[in-house]
Chains A and B, each alone.
Chain A
Amino acid sequence: MNAKIMTMALALLLAAPAVAGWKVVAPTRVTVAQSTLSVTPDAGWNRWTVKPIRNEERWSLDGPLLNRLSFYGGIAQDEPLARERNRKREPLPKFDRTMRATDIAELIERTVRITEEAPDFVTEAVEPATFAGQPGFRLRYRYTAGELVRRGEARGRIADGRLYMIVFTAPALHYFDAGLPRAAAIMDSARIG
């Protein structure tokens, strides 16, 4: 009996590091999403130790429901922007290297409509913008999820056929406007390679 308890305790201890956690991000240049994308944050950001998909990393200031900064470090051809619940029967829209800014806006819209069950998604702006020193795009959108209106700003560009993008999402009430300048500063600091 004792041996059994010891084994279980050991298994629990071993499993512990796999539990989702948040780590403080140092305010120096860091590479993100295990890619060549790098940014320089200010102090106070926290990194989620779980990767939602292979090329995504998430940060937050006050918790992901209140503000979320997602880094997409090179989404490859035919890859989705989120984890697919059922790849065969409920596929998510996929990235295509020939996409323009308007296509990326539609890609995000369709993904969020499905993954966040947000039928009132509205794109508010799609415009050209420099990202990591080259011409890219800037998008603004809003949607309701869980009875909370959320707003998002995405900036990015396609480099070597892959999508590099940073997305800031937060509730429209207070948190989006409050967090956007700090998120925008991180987007401004982006470098690829």
Chain B
Amino acid sequence: MIARWPATAALLLAAAPVMAADLTPTGSPSAPGYTPIGRDEQGLWAEADEQERELKASKLIVRDPGVNAYLRRVLCRTVGDGHCRAVRLYLVRAPIFNADMGPTGVLRLYTGLLLRVRDEAELAAILGHEFTHFENRHSLADMRRRRSATNWGAWLTVASIAASAPRNYTPDFLVSYYSYSRDQEREADLGGLHRMSGAGYRPLAASNVWMHLREEKDAQARGLGVRSLKDRDYGPFVSHPMDVERMTYLAREGQALTTPATSFDGLDDYRRQLAPIWPMLIDDQIKLNDFGASEYVLANLARGDWTGPLLYARAELYRARGLIDQLTAEALYRQAIVRDDAPVATWRGLGLVLLRNGRADEGRAMLRDYLRRAPDAVDRAALQAMADGM
């Protein structure tokens, strides 16, 4: 049995030079005209280019030119004009809090994130974070680390079988890989923080993103009647640090970076520039059957100033939830409908909820009113039947 060891060691030795042969890329990947260096980076880039070709054609890309131009302006202000040119930013329609960065500078930003981020400074923190992944070649390092971890895990497992002491070593190496991945995220968090504060944005906004995400998880759990998972430790096999940790170190570092020169929030700009896609984003959120999180998101958007569209959205949320909430929905629709900025669909919602609440005549009249205001409604035939008392 012992005789097998030299053979295994020889195999490991033979494999080692092959793994170490690749070049180490140098220079900034965001520099103009940069081309990937070495087999690994070239391979990663080729793969990423293929994915980008598909992404470009995706039906879920939000192509509003004004919104895209604004997002790019925030990115360029955060990372600098010289660097931002290398980044291709794609806004993807998906109601989730997420963004990711590929090795070639493809930044995917999901619409659910725009709904949760409260101002330009918070957005800048996210964009700075993603840019740091790109500039510091995290994809390449991540790929190499993962490959090395699974290689060693597999070889040692084979060796242990050969030595008649079988043991699966892969998890041991994966633990170290995930730990490394979390370090990359911390590096990107702090890199993003320094970039955004360097651009004059309020540094403590970065910590706020995570504080609000934790609050949202509480609200979500309350809505579902379950325990909040905001501080659940998922153990060693997770790619990101816990929200509470990110909130804390970003606040500590953020306070240190706070000066009179770093005070820009850009709340009004953020709201105004994203206004064209706001109703779509809200609609995508409230149709997720996630009452607690949706209501929390709406309250954050309102910040005490409940506009017609926000009141309408909240009413829709209550109308969809069930019988007890129909009266709350009615009250909210009534608050929305007296405002100048009430969406036309408010008349529809109020009409439907009144029929449920036993106010048939008023409900029918409201539906007729809605059909006059929205003659091309897709559910015209069904609503007309209800308005006619059928």
Q: Which B residues, 199 to 248, have Cβ-Cβ distances below 8 Å to chain A?
A: 224, 226
**CB-contact partner of B60 in A88, A120, A137, under 8 A:** A120
At the interface, yes or no: B121 with Cβ under 8 Å from chain A? no
Produce 1/0 per residue, A72-108, CB < 8 A to B: 0000000000000000110111001010111101100
Instruction: List the B side residues contacting A101 at CB < 8 Å.
Output: 379, 382, 385
- Assess whether A119 is in contact with B95, with CB atoms less than 8 Å apart: yes
Q: How far is the CB of B56 from chain A (nearest CB, A)?
A: 12
- Assess whether A100 is in contact with B382, with CB atoms less than 8 Å apart: yes
Given contacts A114-B289, A117-B94, A119-B95, contact A147 B378 (CB under 8 A): no
Instruction: List the A side residues contacting B383 at CB < 8 Å.
Output: 102, 126
At the interface, yes or no: B113 with Cβ under 8 Å from chain A? no
- Assess whether B226 is in contact with A119, with CB atoms less than 8 Å apart: no
Q: Which A residues, 110 to 149, have Cβ-Cβ distances below 8 Å to chain B?
A: 110, 113-114, 117, 119-121, 123-128, 135, 137, 144, 147, 149
Q: List 5 A-B contacts (CB under 8 A).
A: A120-B60, A126-B382, A127-B381, A128-B381, A147-B54
7 nearest A-B pairs in the assembled complex, by CB-CB distance:
A127-B381, A126-B379, A126-B382, A101-B382, A144-B59, A128-B385, A119-B284
Question: Which residue of A has the minimal Cβ distance to B379?
Answer: A126
Residues on B lying within 8 angstroms of A by beta carbon are 54, 57-60, 93-95, 111, 224, 226, 284, 287-289, 320, 322-323, 352, 355-356, 378-379, 381-383, 385-386, 390
**CB-contact partner of A113 in B54, B59, B287, B385, under 8 A:** B287
Residues on A lying within 8 angstroms of B by beta carbon are 88-89, 91-93, 96, 98, 100-103, 105-106, 109-110, 113-114, 117, 119-121, 123-128, 135, 137, 144, 147, 149
CA distance A127 to B94 in the complex (A): 29
Instruction: List the B side residues contacting A110 at CB < 8 Å.
Output: 287-289, 320
Question: Which residue of B has the minimal Cβ distance to A91?
Answer: B289
- Assess whether B94 is in contact with A119, with CB atoms less than 8 Å apart: yes
- Assess whether A126 is in contact with B381, with CB atoms less than 8 Å apart: yes
- Assess whether B378 is in contact with A100, with CB atoms less than 8 Å apart: no
